[in-house]
Each structure stands twice: as structure tokens, then as C-alpha cells.
Structure 1
Amino acid sequence: SQKWKIQPQDQWVARWKRAQDCWRRGDKVVKLIGYDASPAESRRYAHREGHVSERFDYRYPLREWGWDRARCAQRIREEGLPVPIKSACWLCAAQKVDELRSLPRWCLRLIVLVEARAAPRLRTVEGLWRSSTAARPGSMTAYIRDQVLLDPEEIDAIIVGAPVELVDFQRVAAAIPVEERPIMRDWIERFNREATKLAA
């Protein structure tokens, strides 16, 4: 969270004129943190509770209101909106089986690619989930295959071809001046287009 959530947000706020004006006045920017009042979130909150910053004051409105995740979902439904899936990286090792099952196909393809690219170097773990448990294998790809979340032929094609193509793309890009380099998003979009055609 510190590296991938807090630091990028702090960097963005540091460039925000309203925040800069606030700090010039000697005030602090108020950050609203979305920890809810459930036991799991209370553990996360306890880790951050009492954190003091020169630039920010922190408030936890869901905790102030006593709302847990179910109450948040209820309020979203009351507004006629769909309840979003859990906000988490779809490559997260802490991802649950039902969360993986809810992912769109393009995420599943990239999971297969990431594990295939890493496979030659893995020594102590099976994949993104690390080690097998009674509920699932250590490899998300193995679960995707077992549950037929992607066609087996598509998985095999990704494993055989995509890591090589990705390395080739990176090798070529590394030889080009930074300002002229193709961006990774372009490669990923092409990868997904080709995988979609293969699956059709």
C-alpha cells in the first residue's frame, strides 16, 4: 500500500495547486481514508491509527459512521448503482478464488502471461499464489486451466508464444531512444487482440 497507493497519491497531491495553497497558509490537507468498520478493516486501521504527517490530517468517515462492507454495499444499491468488485490488483497474491473467477478475460490472459514469463526462474513458489492450499493451487494459471476460465488452447498459446514475443518487444524497445519507444500498453493491447481472435 505504501509504495503503490500512498506514495503515488501523495506525489499527485504535492503537484495540486489547491494543496500547495493550503500548505502555504500553514494548513494541512485532509485525506479521507476508506477503511470501513469491519473487523478486517479495523486491523488495517490499527496499523495506521495515530499516524502523524506534517502535510495531512486523516479522517475515516466509514469508521466514524460505523459502516462495514455490507452497509457500504447496501448504500450503493440504494442509489441504484452496481456494487463494484473489491478494489485490488488482479495480480495480487492475496486474491481470493472468487475474485479471480470474477475477472474479465483480458486480466486472466495477463495472469497467464506473467506466470509464464516468470516460470523459468521460479524455485520456491508455484506461481502468483505461491504455494498450493486445499482450496487452490499455487499457480493462478493452473486454477484458470482447471476451472476452464480460458480455453486450454488459448492458455497453451500464451505460455508458448507470449513470453518470447514480450522479451523481443522489450529488447527492441530498449535499443530505441526513450522518447521514441513504443509503450507497453500498445504491446498488451495487441496481445489481447490476438488472444481474442485465437479464442473465437
Structure 2
Amino acid sequence: MTRPPVIAAWGAGVDSTAMIIELAERGEPVDMVLFADPGSEKNQTYAFIPLFRAWMDERGIPSEIVRYQPRNFKNWPPYATIAENMLSNATLPSVVFGGGSCSQKWKVAPQEAWTAGWEPARRCWDGGGQVTKLIGYDASARDTQRYRHALGCEDPRYHYRYPLREWGWDRARCAARIVAAGLPVPPKSSCFFCGAMKPDEVMDLSVDELRVIVLMEARARPRLRNVQGLWRKPVLGCRGATPRPGSITEFIRERGLLSPSEIDRIVEIAPDELLDFQAAQAALPVERRTPMGDWLYDFQHAAAAMRITTRLPDDPERASARSRLSQGGPGATL
């Protein structure tokens, strides 16, 4: 390969999907497409991923799915997804508190780790070159802000290119391009509990996703001081904004997306059951601990999940463990 290798960062949303479609139509090279899976994308996104990977395969565009691999679990049950991470630590995504480290940890870092072992990239860097990385920021005002921020965070190993901005495409143009290619328009890419979601995105979530949101906010509530939940604080609906509470749980209740009894049962019982599970696992060597994903599976699929069999008897040691875990325990940050 005489030219620098080209990698496209694919979020499985509208913008980056349209970018790849148009690049293929123009005959521009894309040597690899990387999707970083945090394990907690929307169900609709996971349905779209194999469709578009098949579309790329038909056109000779290789793709890989990469993942962050948690390793240091301290006293926690092993977790594999960002949702399980949040539930373990009794916290909410960093975007709720004005940060963005969840994207760096679960999206950017896995792509960089994969690329570091990719032979075309290694040869390029050994020769003093830069890998071309394609980013799907469109020409909208919001993505212009993201683009300007990204300019100050670029890695010297990469030449960053923003094709949608070169073409002057906004989100509507991207959606139209996907339709023209004969593909369904994917939902906006994000974790299903992202604090940046709009109310209409919550309305489209599945029951399983809504249940985890209720559990996540209930689990984090003892530690919250300046925010009400995943949406931080209420929006009153001024200047055309859609009114909403600061807690997505309250929105779910207001809109009847889950029954009041289901919400109450999760809020009143599930956090304590999760604490009991964590306390039981903390007493075991890490290699013998039951993964957090197993507990979450039971929470979703078993009618008796709220009375999980790992519940410990009430005693001073259990009370101490629950107190510690309810506050997130040591190192309970992203």
C-alpha cells in the first residue's frame, strides 16, 4: 500500500453510515471500518449493525467490532458493558455531570487499541506517516461545535478527515442518502440510557431498556446531589424546548411507558437485591464471581429476580457491605 491506510470510525448512526455509503459510491478507499461496541447501544442499533455490515461486505469494505475489556474489578462482580459498569458503581454516565469520559473509555480507546495492532497502521507509523481517520461529523451547528472541540484533541499519529463537512451535508441529507441506498435509516447512535437523549428517543425504547433506566437511576439516587437523574434537571419547555423532568424514570411514569406498579417494584426492591448480590460476590475470589450480566439477565427475564437467591441474612457484616456498596465503594468512578 503506497498511500496511508484509511480507517472509518462508524457509530452505526445516521451520519457515519451515510458517510461510508457516499465514500463507496465515489470510489474513495476505505481500508477498515471500526465500530466500538459499549454493549449498551439501543436495540434498534443492534438490529441495524448486521444489515450494514452485510452491505459493506458486498462492496469489499472490511469491518470490525471492537470492545473495551474491563479488567480491574476490585470488589465488584465482573462487568462487560457500560450499563453493567454504571450499575456496579452506583453512578450515571459522565455526560450527566458535564463530562465525556464514557466515550473516551468505551468508544475511542478500543478503536485506538485495535489500530495499534493493525499491520497497515504499524507499517505506516514505522515509516513516519499518518493513518487517515474518517469521522462522521456533519455540517450542522451542533456537530460544528464537536468538530471545533476535536481539533484541539487530535492525535499526531492520525490525519483526521471529516467528509460530511467537506460536502456540506447535514443530518437530513445524510438520512436521505441512506434511503437512496435502499437501507433503513438507523436511530441516533447512543447508549439507551444516555443523558443526551431526547424525549422522542425514550419513547422508542423497548420495555427491557426502560426497566434498566429505572434501575440505574434508583441505584444511583443515594449518591446524587446536584442532579435528579439522567436528564439532570427539569426542562420547562421555554423557547420551543420539549418539557421534561430531570429524571427519565419520571418521564417513563408520566407517559405510561411502564406501569406504575412495575416502576415502584423496581425502585423499591431491585437496588437492594443488587446490593445483596454485590456483597455476596465481594466475598469470593474474582475468578469465582458471577458476572454482573448474569444478574441483569435474571432481572430482565425471571419473575423472581427481585428475590434473587444470593440474598444474605441480615447481620452487621452484611449491613456494612451494603452501606459501602450503596455509596459506590472504593474507586466507584468512571
TM over 0.5: yes
- Return the offset for 1:141: 0.4
Paired residue secondary structure (1:163) = helix
Q: Quote the RMSD (CA, aligned, Å).
A: 2.1
Per-residue CA shift, 1:1-31, capped at 9, x if unaligned? 4344322321222233332232223222211
Per-residue CA shift, 1:158-190, capped at 9, x if unaligned? 112211121122122222222232211111111
Separation in structure 2 between the aligned mates of residue 22 and residue 173 of structure 1, nearest angstrom:
46
Separation in structure 1 between the aligned mates of residue 278 and residue 152 of structure 2, nearest angstrom:
44
Paired residue secondary structure (1:7) = helix
User: Where do 1:134-149 residues align within 5 Å?
Assistant: 134=236, 135-149=243-257
The aligned counterpart of 2:149 is: 47
Separation in structure 2 between the aligned mates of residue 153 and residue 20 of structure 1, nearest angstrom:
56
Amino acid at match of 1:2: Q
Paired residue secondary structure (1:57) = strand
The aligned counterpart of 1:193 is: 301
Distance of aligned partners of 1:51 and 1:126 in 2 relative to their CA distance in 1, 3 Å threshold: closer
- Return the offset for 1:53: 2.4
User: Where do 1:127-166 residues align within 5 Å?
Assistant: 127-134=229-236, 135-166=243-274
Aligned counterpart in structure 2 of residue 62 of structure 1, from 154, 158, 164: 164
Superposed structure 1 runs of 4+ greater than 3 Å apart = 1-4
Identify which range, 165-174 or 35-44, moves more after superposition.
Answer: 165-174
Per-residue CA shift, 1:83-130, capped at 9, x if unaligned? 111112222222211111111221111110011112233333221112
The aligned counterpart of 1:72 is: 174
Aligned counterpart in structure 2 of residue 19 of structure 1, from 110, 121, 127: 121
- Return the offset for 1:136: 0.7
The aligned counterpart of 1:175 is: 283
Paired residue secondary structure (2:302) = helix
The aligned counterpart of 1:119 is: 221
User: Where do 1:63-102 residues align within 5 Å?
Assistant: 63-102=165-204
The structure carrying a bigger helix percent of its residues is 1
- Determine which structure has greater relative contact order: mean sequence separation of CA pairs < 8 Å that are 6+ residues apart, divided by chain length: 2
Distance of aligned partners of 1:109 and 1:3 in 2 relative to their CA distance in 1, 3 Å threshold: same
Quote the sequence identity (%).
Answer: 56
Amino acid at match of 1:177: P
Amino acid at match of 2:185: V
Distance of aligned partners of 1:52 and 1:143 in 2 relative to their CA distance in 1, 3 Å threshold: closer
The aligned counterpart of 2:135 is: 33
Separation in structure 2 between the aligned mates of residue 100 and residue 139 of structure 1, nearest angstrom:
12
- Gapped regions of structure 1 (runs ≥ 5): none
Separation in structure 1 between the aligned mates of residue 117 and residue 277 of structure 2, nearest angstrom:
33
- Return the offset for 1:50: 6.1
Paired residue secondary structure (1:5) = helix
Count, aligned residues: 197
Amino acid at match of 1:138: G
Amino acid at match of 1:101: M
- Gapped regions of structure 2 (runs ≥ 5): 1-102, 237-242, 307-334
Per-residue CA shift, 1:124-145, capped at 9, x if unaligned? 3221112112101111101101
* TM-score, normalising length: structure 2: 0.55
Distance of aligned partners of 1:177 and 1:18 in 2 relative to their CA distance in 1, 3 Å threshold: farther
* TM-score, normalising length: structure 1: 0.89
Separation in structure 2 between the aligned mates of residue 139 and residue 6 of structure 1, nearest angstrom:
28
Distance of aligned partners of 1:166 and 1:51 in 2 relative to their CA distance in 1, 3 Å threshold: closer
- Return the offset for 1:51: 4.9
